[in-house]
Amino acid sequence: MPGGHAFLGAARSTGTSVGEAASYDIGARRVSGPLLELRAVTMRFGGVTALDKLSLALGEGEIQGLIGPNGSGKSTAFNVVTGLYRPAEGEIAFQGQPITGLRPDQIAGLGIARTFQHLRLFGQLSVLDNVMTGTHLRADPPSPIETLFGLPRFRRYERELRELCMAVLEQLQIADVASQLARSLPYGTQKRVDLARSLVSEPRLLLLDEPAAGLNEADSRHLLELIAALHETRKLAILVVEHNMHFIGGLCRQINVIDFGRLLARGDTETVRRDPEVIRAYLGEPAKQAARAAPAETEPEAATEPALAVEGLEVRYGAVPAIRGIDLSAPDGKLTAIVGANGAGKSTLLSAISGLLPAYRGRIAYHGADVTAWDCERRVAVGIVLCPEGRRLFPSLTVRENLLLGAYSQRDAARSRRTLDKVLTLFPRVAERGNQAAGTLSGGEQQMVAIGRALMAEPRLLLLDEPSLGLAPNLVQLIFEMIEEIRRLGTTTILVEQNASMALAIADLGYLLENGRVGLAGPAAELLQRREVVEVYLG
C-alpha cells in the first residue's frame, strides 16, 4: 500500500467476498467492519447544512452508488471523505480507524483515490506524464541527490513507475495514445486518462464523481464495462456518484439516495426507483401543486411571435458537446419550464441564451432579432436577464447594495428607485433586511435577493436557473409563489428547475431535456402526467 500513517499503512485485509464486512490486522489489534464508514457526518457552510447526520458504509471489494437531486450533498460527501472539507460533526473511518481531520494527502496515502466530475488534466503533458502524476505518494522514492544525478536507483524507480502506468493504460485500452498530448484526445478518452491517474496510486477505495458526465451513449457503455472489469479483477471497493441511472444501475447492486444531505433510501436499483420518497425528492411533491396546474386563461389565444426562438442550438465545452441541436420557443408573457436530470444541459442552455456561453452552431432570436452573436451586456440592455444558479450574491454587501447592482446599466436614478420599490413590495422579507449583509441571510432570503437583483434590470425575458436549489420545502413553496407572481405581472420567464413537478405545475409550456437534447415538449400540464419524465430522472 502507498505510504501514510504507519499503523494504517500496515493494515492487511484477511479477504472477504463482495458486500461482506472486512476484517483487518492493525498492529496487534484485530478490527472487523466496513472498509469505509461515515457515522452521522454533518457538514455546514455558514447557515446551510450540506450533510445532515449522513451515515454510509462500504465493504471491502464492494461497489455502491450514491445518487440524489442536484444540490443534495453528493460531491460534499466525497469532499469530506477525501479531507477537502472537515465535517462539523460525526466521524469518518477507513479500515476501522478514524480519518476525520487528516489532510487530503494523508488520506490519499492510506489508499483512497478519487476522480472529479470536471476534468483536471494537464493538457500540455502527454497521457503517460499525466498518469505518472498519480504516483507521487508511493513509498520510498529516490532521494533528491539520486534524482538530480540520475543515479541507478532513480532510473530503476522511474522505469518501474512507467511500467506500472503503462499497465494501467493497457487495462483501460488507451496505451496506444500514451505519447499524445492530453488536450488532443476525445473527451471520452480523457475521462479514461483521469481514471488511470487515480488507479496508479493502487487504492483500496476509489471514489468516482460522475464518471459518465458528458459522454455519449457508446462511450458511457464502454466506460461502464471497463469499470466493471476493474472491480472484478482488482477487487477494488468503489463508490460512484452519477446522475445517469442506466449507468449506475448497470454497475451497482446497492444504491444510496440522499436528499438535503440526509440518507433517504438504500437498496437495489428497482427498489429505489419505486420508492415514493425518492420520486418526490427528484420530481417534487405533485399533490400540493395539482390544484394550481390549471391555466388561468381558458380562451384561445391568437398566434403571436414568441419572445424567444432557439433553432438548432449546439454548445460545447472545448470538444465536449453539452447542447446537441435544441429547438425551443418561449411564448411572450408566459412561463416556460425546462426540466431534466442533473447534467441534461439545462443551465448550459440558459447560459447560451444569456450570452455567457457562445453558440457553436444554431440561432437564437429575441423578438425576431438574431442575437446569437451579441455579447451578454447587449442582451441585458434589451431585456434578457439571467438569475444564475447558486445566487452569487456579494456576501459582505448589504441587501440593498446587492439589489442596486442589478440596475448598474440604468442611468435614471429616479427610475431605479421606483424599480427598487416594486421589488421590495414583491419581496417584503427582503425589504425588512435592506441594511443587513447578504451573507447573513438564510438560503431562501438570499434566493429572493438574487431574483430581486435580476428584476432590477427590468427584464422582458427573465431566465431563472434552479431557484429552489438547496432550499427547505417550505421555502421552495414560497419561492415558487413569487415566480408565479412575476409571471402574472407579465414578465416572460424561462424557469430551469430539477424539481419537475413544481416547475411544470406553474408553467404554461414545458420542455424535458435529456443528454443535451429535447426529449419531450408541450403544454406543461400534459408533461406533468407523462411517465417519461420519471424515467428520465430515475431510469
CATH number at residue 157: 3.40.50.300
How large a percentage of the chain has pLDDT more than 90? 54
Instruction: Judge whether residue 290 has pLDDT over 70.
Output: no
430 part of a folded domain: no
Residue 110 has pLDDT above 80, yes or no: yes
User: Is the confidence at residue 17, as pLDDT, over 60?
Assistant: no
Q: Across residues 261-272, what is the average pLDDT? A: 91
Give the separation between CA 266 and CA 66, rounded to whole angstroms: 9
Q: Provide the CB-side half-sphere exposure for 51 (13 A, CA).
A: 27
In which band, very low, low, confident or very high, does the pLDDT at 285 lie, cut at 50, 70 and 90? low
Query: Strand, helix or coil at 106?
Result: helix
Q: Which residues touch 489 (CB under 8 Å, ≥6 apart)?
A: none
Q: For position 376, what pLDDT does the model report?
A: 93
Find the domain containing 122 and state its range. 118-202
- Give the span between the Cα atoms of 512 and 519, in whole angstroms: 5
Could you give the number of structural domains in the chain?
1
For the beta carbon of residue 331, count every other beta carbon within 10 angstroms.
Answer: 17
- Is residue 472 assigned to a domain? no
**Measured in whole angstroms, how far is the alpha carbon of residue 237 from the centre of its chain?**
23
**Is 35 within the bounds of a domain?**
no
Which strand ranges, in their side-by-side order, compose the sheet holding 320-330?
Answer: 320-330, 308-317, 361-366, 369-370
Q: Residue 144: pLDDT above 60?
A: yes
Q: Provide the 8-state DSSP code for 35.
A: S
Highest mean pLDDT among 25-34, 270-279, 517-526: 517-526
pLDDT score recorded for residue 174: 96
| Residue 513 banded pLDDT, cuts 50, 70, 90 | very high
Q: Is the pLDDT of residue 5 over 50?
A: no
Longest dimension (CA), the chain: 86
Instruction: Give the tens place of pLDDT for each residue, 57-109.
Output: 999 999 999 998 877 889 899 999 999 999 999 999 999 999 999 999 999 99
Match 434552479 to its residue by C-alpha cell.
466
**Selection from 141-155, 301-315, 374-388 with the highest mean pLDDT:** 374-388
Contact between 440 and 455 under an 8 Å Cβ cutoff? The reply is no
Closest to 69 measured CA to CA, from 285, 351, 260, 256:
260
Contact 335/495 with Cβ under 8 angstroms?
Answer: yes
Question: Is residue 343 assigned to a domain?
Answer: no
**What is the rounded CA–CA span in Å between residue 122 and residue 41?**
34
Considering the domain boundaries, does residue 167 fall inside one? Answer: yes
Instruction: Indicate whether this model's pTM tops 0.95.
Output: no
Evaluate whether residue 410 is within a structural domain.
no
170 is a domain residue: yes
The answer, yes or no, to whether residue 50 has pLDDT greater than 70, is yes
Contact 319, 477 (CB under 8 A): no
DSSP labels for 331-342?
Answer: -TTSEEEEE-ST
Contacts of 289 (CB under 8 A, 6+ apart): 501, 502, 505, 506
Cα distances (angstroms) measured from residue 295 to each of 335, 505, 508:
11, 9, 7
How confident is the model over 471-498, as a mean pLDDT?
Answer: 86
Look at residue 252 and tell me if it is in a domain: no
- Cα 184 to Cα 121, 128, 252: the distances in Å are 11, 13, 32
